Amino acid sequence: MESLDLAALKITSLIMVTTFNYYYRTLGRLIIRSFAFIRCFAALSLHALICFSNCLKAKFSRYCWAG
């Protein structure tokens, strides 16, 4: 009976470690993706800000919205 409890404990701990590793990797991927999204958003915002300031410098000339 004691060996059965030990086997059940080993199986349970193996399942817990596997589940923890899965969630840990998933959380890591999620954090990396969110940082990539934040970096991309910041770069696009900075690009838009620079373009807008160039437009203001050009006093809304015909080149303002030409990309």
Q: What is the pLDDT along the chain (67 residues), one digit of tens a residue?
A: 567 778 888 888 888 888 888 888 888 888 888 888 888 888 888 888 887 787 777 666 555 555 5
Residue pair 58/65 in contact by the 8 Å Cβ criterion: no
Structure tokens at 33: 């993706």
Planar angle of CA 57, 38, 40, nearest 5 degrees: 55
pLDDT for 15: 86
Structure tokens at 5: 């409890």
pTM: 0.44
